[in-house]
Amino acid sequence: MYRIGVDLGGTNIAVGLVNEAHKIVKKQSAPTGAERAGEAIAADIAKLCLAVCHAEGITLRDVACIGIATPGIANVDTGVVEYSCNLPFRKFPLAECVGKELGFDNVKIANDANAAALGEAVAGAAKGSKNSMMITLGTGVGGGIILDGKIYAGFNHAGGELGHVVIEVDGALCGCGRRGCWEAYSSATALIRMTKEKIEECRAEGQSTAMADAAKITGRTACDAMRAGDEAAKEVYDKYVKYLACGLTNMINIFQPQVISLGGGVSGEGQSLIDALLPLIRKEQYGGDVVELTQLRIAELGNDAGIIGAAMLN
């Protein structure tokens, strides 16, 4: 049997047909049109589900389940999206809507970061682990918690907001309204802010830095300049790594997961990021010389994690 995974984003809907080896065999996408009503978005999801089946030469009778990864608070029991920032969902019965369009019963939903974590746990960097977490270092800091092979999201389905854990009281303002959230220090956005701040500081102090030559400051600017030997860039990178290690150590002291995988843009730094983080984490984490320790890995599935995780919701 196949499964269908849907990754519903603020910009695009991506739908994948997933085989029993957890590989995406067909993928199609369309613009979300987030300004439209929920029903119209659900109808497009349904169309894409049929399209991937058609492309593979199968029908929905060959599909065991459809899973949808959605931004916001997803009630996995009822299939209702309670709320989403980026989409017009307020207590919207997304699973039911898509199911009705298709005459298909088995439609599940989950929060998108949680679905991506499940994808990595089933078929990616945390494959085979008893419990794991995925931390996504992108525009924000997203997180998903997988315990005994299942998403953990709390009694009200709103948990796992790992980016909104304060690591610096009265610190940098976060988009969520709190000050000092992990997200405000460890997202790609934060890395860009730190880079710009340092360039300004260099300018003010008449210190030279290659970072100032970048046409556009991105999350890579500091990393690339640091590798080219730029001192100011190394300061930015070290600061970023220090905060990221702090938040990761927090997660380990709370969860002691078998695996933490890092996804999102910044994780493109790869093993060198892990190598920079691990000594800081090992020095501060609980359980040091006594028990087996959490493994820190780069996520493996990239943008497919959400589709694959969604496909595995049931």
Residues of this chain that bind a copy of itself (CB under 8 A) = 73, 82-83, 129-131, 145, 147, 152-162, 164-169, 171, 176-178, 242-243, 246, 249-250, 253-258, 283-284, 286-287, 290-293
CB of 50 or CB of 158, closer to a copy of itself: 158
CB of 78 to a copy of itself, least distance (A): 12
Closest CA to 313 of 43, 4, 73, 2: 4
CB of 215 or CB of 290, closer to a copy of itself: 290
Question: Token pair of 300, please?
Answer: 């493996």
Report whether 165 contacts 250 (CB < 8 A).
Answer: yes
CB of 156 or CB of 271, closer to a copy of itself: 156
At residue 211, φ and ψ (nearest 5 deg) are -60, -30
At residue 91, φ and ψ (nearest 5 deg) are 50, 50
**Interatomic CA distance for residues 135 and 298, integer angstroms:** 10
**Interatomic CA distance for residues 99 and 287, integer angstroms:** 47
CB of 64 to a copy of itself, least distance (A): 26
CB within 8 A of 228, min separation 6: which ones?
210
CB of 116 to a copy of itself, least distance (A): 17
**What would you report as the CA-atom Rg of the chain, rounded to the nearest whole angstrom?**
21
**Interatomic CA distance for residues 95 and 76, integer angstroms:** 9
Report whether 233 contacts 191 (CB < 8 A).
Answer: no
Closest CA to 182 of 135, 214, 133: 135
Closest CA to 144 of 122, 159, 160, 163: 160
Q: How is residue 301 annotated by DSSP?
A: S
CB of 127 to a copy of itself, least distance (A): 15
CB of 13 or CB of 153, closer to a copy of itself: 153
CB of 93 to a copy of itself, least distance (A): 15
CB of 91 or CB of 227, closer to a copy of itself: 91
CB of 219 to a copy of itself, least distance (A): 20
CB of 115 to a copy of itself, least distance (A): 17
CB of 10 or CB of 154, closer to a copy of itself: 154
CB of 155 or CB of 216, closer to a copy of itself: 155
| First-residue to last-residue Cα distance in the chain | 13
CB of 257 to a copy of itself, least distance (A): 7
Closest CA to 13 of 59, 25, 38, 3: 38
CB of 128 or CB of 206, closer to a copy of itself: 128
